[in-house]
Structure 1
Amino acid sequence: MAAQFGRLRKGAVNTTVAAVVVAALAASQAPGVTTDDAGRKVTTGTQPSPDTPAENSATGNSPYYTDLPPLKSPNPSPTTGTPVTQGTSEAGIPATVLDAYKKAANALQESKPGCNLPWELLAAIGKVESGQARGGRVDANGNTLSKILGPQLNGNGFASISDTDGGAYDGDSSYDRAVGPMQFIPSTWEWAGRDGNGDGKKDPNNVYDAALAAGHYLCRFGWDLSTKGDLDSAILSYNNSQDYLNLVLRWLEYYRKGTHEIPDGTGTLPSDRSDDTAGASPTPTTPGSPATPTTPSSPSTPKPGGGDGGSTSPKPTPPPSTTPPATPTPTPTDTVHHLEDAGTAKLSAMAGDAFTEKITARAETKAGKAVPKVRIRFAIIGATDAAFSTGEKYATVLTNSIGEAVAPALKAGENTGEFVVRTTVVGRTVSGLDYTATVTERAADTLARTGEDALTCTPGGEFADQVEVKATYKGAVADKVAATATLIKSADDATENDKGPYFKDADGKPVRTLTGLTTDAKGLLKLPKLYADDTTGTFLLRINTAGGATLTVELKVAAADTSPSPTPSEPASGTDSASPSPGA
């Protein structure tokens, strides 16, 4: 069915049949996909700019399979063990490939639940990119039985993307090629690659690794794939083509209606590709060697004779003239000579906070002219848990009209110290820029008690109220800030007191210094109960935090007042009464 529709699309039908086909396809359009007055598929929603460079996509806008899904899904779907027929093979997904899609979607549901990535979307892209890894020709670990490589992206009918990996992934040291079942170009795989099967490697030729990488790629930028606009944007970022978007949406809708598992290696191989006219082969390819030119044979010498009674030697036919290939027009990337910092301020943030400054780099020619539409890659280097606001360690940004690329905001993790953000040009070997970023410990600049009651206790007793304080930094809640509490000798002597109030350790023994304290998410710190020994007097508790905030709390230990309450005085004996005597 898919192959037949592919041939119909090529025009080998009459007008009446074509009209029937267009009507049938329109009836099975995915949501949001419509046809215009000419029967072309169109869609709406947020999309990348039409002039987005090919290298700014997962596949480099490489060719893809254009076979359409069947008009109907099997109903009911075949059960496991059902003999594979043309119909069930066309609708089914090879077992290992299907498992990879579902595991990747489950992993994204945990790490990026707001993305709402359906596994059917990975299946749709996998179908269009590689025909589900060539019909499921993978081993039990998910490795493709042979490498799946796209054509050389040399500008001859395709985008021109010079080699970025030294042939490490695609075996081509001249130009990049899309690699693996999800067809990543090497420069994208370098930052998007993932280990999906837990073998410690990130291999674009492994369907588990490739599926997980595709999921993360589609979920970047905080996209919510349950919304039409974000779904379209994510698909177009994979391959910036309106036809590609429409086709993926068709397969997505088809798989959502129901599909089933089939044995590995029994899937239907696609037959039609978007680059059919360019002579691409649908079979696995490896970089070829240029053909050895054929040496022309010497012309034979004719025998004597001829109409004029003499011998003539015909002039050798000159070889056909060949026009030297035109020098390809340099891409913007080819003109980049160096990167310059574009006014990035000092990069410093407290643990857990976002950096207020962003890294801005400018691509320039040798003459210092800005170069727009160049991909700049930002990579976080070093032992740090800091990340970009996207949650990733890498980010690729296109330079704007003045040649500047602004990296996503950095967010500090909990590890303090320095790390480096390295800035390079994708597809061009030029010196990059290193930016040093510093993460400082969480701090507070103010401490205050949350209560106002006096803290008192009798000798040998316990304080009724626990000390609770709130930490802030520049007026905002200071959470997870380290603190220390010490019962000190005096306001001028911060050494630990050896008498008076105390805390208890786990064994019930007195301690007068507590370390390792931390404020909670609301900036609150509640100290353990305080106890008093037999010493009376006024004592001081000092609380210090990272950042310099200090608070001194007064504690009083005094004996209970046991004197009786005064009673009204009796008149002294023999004292005249104030009342008049009777009979007076």
Structure 2
Amino acid sequence: MAAEFGRLRKGAVNTTVAAVVVAALAASQAPGVTTDDAGRRVTTGTQPSPDTPATDSATGNSPYYTDLPPLNSPNPSPSAGNTPVATGDSEAGIPATVLDAYKKAETALREAKPGCNLPWQLLAAIGKVESGQARGGRVDASGNTINPILGPQLNGNGFASISDTDGGAYDGDSSYDRAVGPMQFIPSTWAWAGRDGNGDGQKNPNNVYDAALAAAHYLCRYGWDLSTQGDLDRAILSYNNSQDYLNLVLRWLEYYRKGTHEIPDGTGTLPSDRSDATVGASPTPSPTEPRTPATSGSPKPGGNGGSTSPTPKPPKPGTPTPTPTPTPTPTDTVHHLEDADTAKLTAMAGDAFTERIGTRAETKAGKGVAKVRVRFAIIGATDATFSNGEKYATTLTDSSGAAMAPMLRAGENTGEFVVRATVVGRLITGLDYTATVTERAADALARTSDTALTCTPGGEFADQVEVKATYKGAVADKVAATATLIKSADDPAENDKGPYFKDADGKTVRTLTGLTTDAKGLLKLPKLYSDDTEGTFLLRIATTGGATLTVELKVAKAAETSPEPEPTTPSESASPSA
């Protein structure tokens, strides 16, 4: 039986403290950021906004643990032995395997996205709030949770309504999605954000190494720099779009930054309070007594009283409580996707595609649907990515129902691949776009020097041939080329006499393949030699894309010089005769 978030006791004292702290934190939020009536932060740009669907967050805005850090700062790591630790020390301690997963994820992000400046303590803060550090570190040596960690069914009953997107593959529920694993990813988000963090070839949301690495990459998308408060806030809100959630994660982040230590797996402190209290906290909640609102002058225990209101009559025994019908969202009205005039997608290896993919979300009647999340995924054996370096991107449709994918960038792998557009949170047929990556090419070649290339029979050329490749006037780097000593301008067959190159064994070679221009578009050929044949010879260089250049080589004996006449001593003039 999968372990699920069940109904947990609600600590009145802790809840009161939380309310006070959250209110204080809300008053000191980052500049330029406001909150809406639902307590969500509202800004512009790529961060969540009030109309952001739950499916665009990592967790689908699922419930989370609301326990606050202890008021005392964490003490230094306890010494070796069985010395018991105080409550604050226990809270500061993170199970060994879970802590290792966070630190390995931080290291991986330093290499993959160094500009993000992700601290592992942020992963620890989110892991604490989402699952209590994998339920106190109940994981095996590989990082797999002893039992799957599942959030409540997201069926619209107190939560977002997210219909099943994975056929129950991750969450075991074929009706609605649930948040899964120690970092609580919903299946539709894990499908593109999942990572293999422990190198076992699988992407398992219930593995703390995989989940931690996925969360790290998720928090570092959009080019965010988490060392700045604004981007840090945006990243956390993108995980769960709630002001209270942001404040709570920031509290735990600050707590872990002050100090933490490793504790044995399975010994972590289990959280007790949750954001959903009893609403939908269990897949089959037990019936509760009808609540009677407090009236003025008769405050509830621990409350401040409220305005006078009539006391509702309890329902008659056996009368079923009507289930509220969720209000349809824009996503619910989407019937299909249509291409939005996307041009042919072709780019040279290493270049950006000049055309972008446009998709339109429409109703059955063909009317565009605004404010719908469309996910674009790159599929196939390709190293192409979107401009943000990822293979997935999510875009909100505009007022006409159109969504534009980010710019595509070709990798080094040539051939075709597919970009698939799907509607987030809606099981309808996706729309595929075929993109083609061609080889790097050059359309012009030129020598970098105009020095004549000459050699004596049986000698070697003093200068090496160097050329520069360009494509439409720009540097053509990493372009494949060949160089062949040909018989004549009209006969491109390899010559069997005259100049030649040498291979690694010193043997004569008159055709070179596998040549590539460098980052500046330059190609410098090896040294040339010649046999005893005199004459004028031709070297032809050709590249992918059709650029060719024919270079003239001359082999001739050195010009003979006439010896200088020996200087003569002037003869004495004849003496006059006597």
TM-score, with structure 2 as normaliser: 0.85
Shift of 1:328: 2.6
Change (3 A) 1:479 1:6: farther
Structure 2: distance between partners of 1:69 and 1:212: 24
2:329 aligns with 331
Select the residue among 340, 344, 369 that pairs with 2:342: 344
2:298 aligns with none
Structure 2: distance between partners of 1:44 and 1:370: 25
Q: Does the alignment pair 1:371 with 2:376?
A: no
Deviations along 1:287-312, one digit per CA (max 9) or x if unpaired, are 55999xxxxxxxxxxxxxxxxxxxxx
Specify the code of the residue in structure 2 equivalent to 1:363. Answer: A
Q: Does the alignment pair 1:7 with 2:8?
A: no
Aligned residues of 2:33 and 2:43 also touching (Cα < 8 A) = no
Change (3 A) 1:319 1:215: closer
Unmatched tracts of structure 2, length 5 or more: 1-7, 288-314
Structure 1: distance between partners of 2:11 and 2:549: 77
Equivalent residues, number: 533
Structure 2: distance between partners of 1:355 and 1:230: 28
2:60 aligns with 60
Structure 1: distance between partners of 2:415 and 2:257: 48
Aligned residues of 2:422 and 2:428 also touching (Cα < 8 A) = yes
Structure 1: distance between partners of 2:55 and 2:33: 29
2:175 aligns with 174
Shift of 1:320: 6.0
Shift of 1:66: 1.3
Q: Does the alignment pair 1:454 with 2:452?
A: yes
Shift of 1:346: 0.5
Aligned residues of 1:197 and 1:208 also touching (Cα < 8 A) = yes
Aligned ranges 1:364-513 → 2 under 5 Å: 364-513=362-511
Identity of matched residues, % = 80
SS in 1 for 2:346: strand
Change (3 A) 1:356 1:134: same
1:516 aligns with 514
SS in 1 for 2:394: strand
SS in 2 for 1:447: strand
2:135 aligns with 134
Structure 1: distance between partners of 2:545 and 2:212: 45
Shift of 1:251: 0.9
Change (3 A) 1:555 1:10: same
1:232 aligns with 233
SS in 1 for 2:125: helix
Shift of 1:519: 0.4
Aligned ranges 1:262-301 → 2 under 5 Å: 262-278=263-279, 280=281
Deviations along 1:28-73, one digit per CA (max 9) or x if unpaired, are 999959999xxxx998987421221111100011111111112232
Select the residue among 352, 355, 358 that pairs with 2:353: 355
Aligned residues of 2:26 and 2:247 also touching (Cα < 8 A) = no
Change (3 A) 1:45 1:389: same
SS in 2 for 1:276: coil
Shift of 1:176: 1.1
1:120 aligns with 121
Deviations along 1:181-218, one digit per CA (max 9) or x if unpaired, are 10101100111111111222211111111111101111
1:295 aligns with none
Specify the code of the residue in structure 2 equivalent to 1:72. Answer: N
Structure 2: distance between partners of 1:79 and 1:289: 44
Change (3 A) 1:459 1:290: farther
Deviations along 1:195-251, one digit per CA (max 9) or x if unpaired, are 111222211111111111101111111212112221111111101111111111111
Structure 2: distance between partners of 1:404 and 1:431: 17
SS in 2 for 1:329: coil
Deviations along 1:6-48, one digit per CA (max 9) or x if unpaired, are 63464499xxxx9xx659x959999959999xxxx99898742
Shift of 1:279: 5.5
Specify the code of the residue in structure 2 equivalent to 1:88. Answer: D
Aligned ranges 1:134-173 → 2 under 5 Å: 134-173=135-174
Change (3 A) 1:414 1:60: same
Q: CA RMSD in A?
A: 3.3
SS in 2 for 1:190: helix
Greater Cα offset, 386-395 or 489-498: 386-395
Change (3 A) 1:358 1:110: same
Change (3 A) 1:109 1:97: same
Specify the code of the residue in structure 2 equivalent to 1:275. Answer: D
Specify the code of the residue in structure 1 equivalent to 2:218. Answer: Y
Change (3 A) 1:69 1:266: same
1:532 aligns with 530
Aligned residues of 2:372 and 2:423 also touching (Cα < 8 A) = yes
Deviations along 1:531-567, one digit per CA (max 9) or x if unpaired, are 1111111111110000011111111111111231666
Specify the code of the residue in structure 1 equivalent to 2:408. Answer: L
Aligned residues of 1:30 and 1:249 also touching (Cα < 8 A) = no
Aligned residues of 1:363 and 1:370 also touching (Cα < 8 A) = yes
Specify the code of the residue in structure 2 equivalent to 1:453. Answer: T
2:558 aligns with 560
Shift of 1:126: 0.3
Change (3 A) 1:12 1:481: closer
SS in 2 for 1:179: coil
Structure 2: distance between partners of 1:29 and 1:515: 68
SS in 1 for 2:454: strand
TM-score, with structure 1 as normaliser: 0.84
Unmatched tracts of structure 1, length 5 or more: 282-286, 292-316
Structure 2: distance between partners of 1:246 and 1:217: 19
SS in 1 for 2:530: coil
Structure 2: distance between partners of 1:42 and 1:324: 29
Greater Cα offset, 547-556 or 272-281: 272-281
Aligned residues of 1:100 and 1:208 also touching (Cα < 8 A) = yes
Q: Does the alignment pair 1:244 with 2:245?
A: yes
SS in 1 for 2:367: coil
Specify the code of the residue in structure 2 equivalent to 1:424. Answer: T
Aligned residues of 1:45 and 1:228 also touching (Cα < 8 A) = no
1:312 aligns with none
Deviations along 1:405-433, one digit per CA (max 9) or x if unpaired, are 21122111111111111112222222221
Greater Cα offset, 517-526 or 271-280: 271-280
SS in 2 for 1:502: strand
Structure 2: distance between partners of 1:33 and 1:477: 44
Structure 2: distance between partners of 1:241 and 1:75: 31
Structure 1: distance between partners of 2:53 and 2:26: 32
Greater Cα offset, 426-435 or 118-127: 426-435
Deviations along 1:376-429, one digit per CA (max 9) or x if unpaired, are 121222221212222222222222222112112211111111111111222222
Aligned residues of 1:66 and 1:273 also touching (Cα < 8 A) = yes
SS in 1 for 2:499: coil
Structure 2: distance between partners of 1:431 and 1:353: 30
Structure 2: distance between partners of 1:132 and 1:361: 40
1:297 aligns with none
Structure 2: distance between partners of 1:44 and 1:378: 25
2:186 aligns with 185
Aligned residues of 2:59 and 2:239 also touching (Cα < 8 A) = yes
Structure 1: distance between partners of 2:482 and 2:238: 51
SS in 1 for 2:231: helix
Shift of 1:74: 2.7
Change (3 A) 1:27 1:346: closer
Specify the code of the residue in structure 2 equivalent to 1:166. Answer: G
Structure 2: distance between partners of 1:548 and 1:254: 63
Greater Cα offset, 413-422 or 81-90: 81-90
Q: Does the alignment pair 1:103 with 2:75?
A: no
